[in-house]
Chain A
């Protein structure tokens, strides 16, 4: 595609809805600002009702923001109707035109742009080949499987060569296996075409697998933006830590801060963690420990008591009590390891880098 890639910029975007039950107005999206670089794949991730779909629909033009301005490239697009915006959306329900066959569905946008017949045919066939649907062009859409319908929806969006592709939970109607293969497919095609993509999902593993950047939303507010690794290892809040993967939270008071490590008092025991800028002695911090980062040992570590020990095949699942705090652990490849039984007392061990401190 010879087009100049365009990014998307949201400046202080808010959307107000009326709650149908109480009749009160509330912010579905509040003061959202973000910049999406040209050619990048960005995912809006959050629990249902967090405002991610509303944000996407504002970018597409189906909803109008109550505050702020949306830019496509450098052009403000607030007042443009969806048909005048250089975006194309892949819908959750696919939204294929049921009275058209595959070819006509894909060709619909090109016909509206009055593309010459030969070029139209070539472009439709090229795109169908890209999504691996060659030979299916004369099928009616109801004769296709869910995955195939999804590909048609993708082809239809790609063929008009939009500046930005928008995905509204496109895989949620597919079964688990197909979901996994389709998400790699979507990523492959996006990379091949080099298009800017904004993707909405509530499925965190989908978001991890597919994105350059993840934007976490909660209650209408953008809480964190970063690469999947940044989000996973350095969540900026308990919400993000808990929403992405599983997290254990321990409370610790900083008692000593050195150049390369800090000592925190957790449940009456000192632990050593990597020091973070801005830490102060005497303050209490929330510490995040991922279940796979911890280990159980006979001696040393944080003293704890096993309350659940369950064999899960590829890992052993433990619940241990550290003082009064419940910590969940997954110890992988348990075959040749010592298995701790329920009621046993032992130690919870982790390295200084395995703890993330929420400042």
Chain B
């Protein structure tokens, strides 16, 4: 049987659609040039020396005790953070789905799940230092401990756990909601205690999901740059070691080899997560819950669970509140009254705060719509179109998810500072706003694409087919049908891209030139110098910007978004 005719016809049909063809070509060029190529150049750099293929660079790097230490450090932190975040996430998810909670607790949960979205990555590090460090509010003034050190392993673990557990919470919540209550009721009915039901029914069903949550956090943890940078002290992880190898030792080739090591770990974990665990999760938890769950009201269960959650949530919120308050104290750790705005003043007068906010804001504002549109186009192509190179587009945009920012940063340095393949081609973009914007786009693209894909999968394919059948070409179908129907997803993708860009640091810190002042880079610098009040003032303003853009988005979606009825009719159709 030969399918050659249909393949040829499909190609002919595709070619009859010039807008589509152009889009695909541009998209493939973009992905190849700005995601694949920077990673490829790392391999080239670290494997090919003057005399062809060589392992010398790797040998050299692996012989460094600091680097070997960094690998074990990173893995240790990653594993512990993965476990702790999954457990706390599970606790929150279980309480939300299984336990009867009041409105207040529900609001608390929502807040906890939103905080990591709007906050810059190192806010928690700042507050841990300010609360528990040598001059910490709690350690020194409440407990009278004068030599407490938060820097190092435990500091990173605590901060990363608090930063990443909300992700686990949201993943596991979705899974728990999909467990059919009648399975558990059947076990209860046969005489199992609630604890036994949890151990024998709920947990096994959830196991792949827990593994999934663990790996996602593990990847995030080992890719994290900002927290280990600020709170790691002398405890270096891979991301910070790579950064120091470039900025301190000026050893770009060595950094490239290190980046390859880090990338291999994340890619391996990502592959396991994506192709093994996600499939397993989907296989065990298929059906939608057939009806509502009987919520647990037994106080001997609910009170301790709720207490644990409330404690964790309060702690997290306390940490976030600490930042704006820290910016108001005259001198942190020394003088607490009267509250003052002098740090905010200094930010704008002495420390070029206005320029920093303008640069960060404008760059993010430009990259957000590009990211949002690009991710919607990729989702559209992945979900609705059939052609041979589609797999490439899907794979590369998902690949970007597994690439740590630091790795991408090193890749861009190696890949573009001397032009593409050191030929000088495209060298012009290095050090300009353009490359920063491209980095912002690439870093936010996977999140946007993922949400776009799930939004598009909800739309019955015949709706677009009908428009196509009426005489619209792909471009018109996308503009008049697809985009209006996933308006919400587009808007939230827009804001997420903006927030992610304005709070980004890992890749950007390697690429930013002195002509641009970025807020996150400023915060990092001041925190490094120990100027926590200024760092807090910067961070507070940044949080205000991100939080208000999220609020604005919600307001916008409420008034101009796809109406509820349309969504319902989409789901039914």
Contact = CB atoms under 8 A, between A and B. Distances in A.
Interface of A: 15-16, 25, 27, 60-67, 78-84, 87-89, 91-99, 108-109, 112-113, 140-143, 153, 156, 160
29 contacts: A15-B6, A16-B1, A25-B1, A61-B13, A62-B465, A63-B6, A66-B1, A66-B4, A66-B5, A67-B5, A79-B9, A79-B16, A80-B13, A83-B472, A84-B16, A84-B471, A87-B469, A88-B469, A88-B470, A89-B466, A94-B573, A97-B463, A97-B467, A98-B485, A98-B573, A108-B472, A112-B470, A113-B471, A142-B568
Contacts of A88: 469-470
A238 B566 CA distance: 47
Contacts of B472: 83, 108, 112
Given A99-B566, A112-B471, A93 B9 contact: no
A337 B534 CA distance: 103
A99 B484 contact: yes
> Top 7 closest A-B pairs, CB basis?
A64-B9, A109-B470, A95-B466, A95-B462, A64-B6, A142-B569, A98-B566
Interface string B456-469: 00001011011111
A353 to B, nearest CB: 45
A83 B13 contact: no
A224 to B, nearest CB: 25
Interface string B66-109: 00000000000000000000000000000000000000000000
B476 A27 contact: no
Contact of B462 (A78, A91, A98, A112): A91
A220 to B, nearest CB: 12
Contacts of A94: 573
B476 A112 contact: yes
A143 B566 CA distance: 10
Interface of B: 1-6, 9-10, 12-13, 16-17, 460, 462-463, 465-473, 476, 480-481, 484-485, 562, 565-566, 568-570, 573
B251 to A, nearest CB: 49
A82 to B, nearest CB: 5
B5 A98 contact: no
Contact of A83 (B3, B469, B480, B562): B469
B473 A16 contact: no
A43 B142 CA distance: 84
A64 B5 contact: yes
Nearest to A92: B462
B355 to A, nearest CB: 43
A112 B468 CA distance: 11
B3 A108 contact: no
A83 B573 contact: no
A66 B6 contact: yes
A157 to B, nearest CB: 8
B15 to A, nearest CB: 10
A61 B468 CA distance: 10
Given A92-B462, A97-B467, 11 more contacts: A64-B6, A66-B4, A81-B473, A82-B468, A83-B473, A93-B462, A94-B573, A96-B463, A108-B470, A108-B472, A156-B466
A155 B9 CA distance: 31
Nearest to B485: A99
Contact of B469 (A15, A60, A93, A97): A60
B361 to A, nearest CB: 32
Nearest to B476: A112
Nearest to B487: A99
Contacts of B468: 81-83
A170 to B, nearest CB: 12
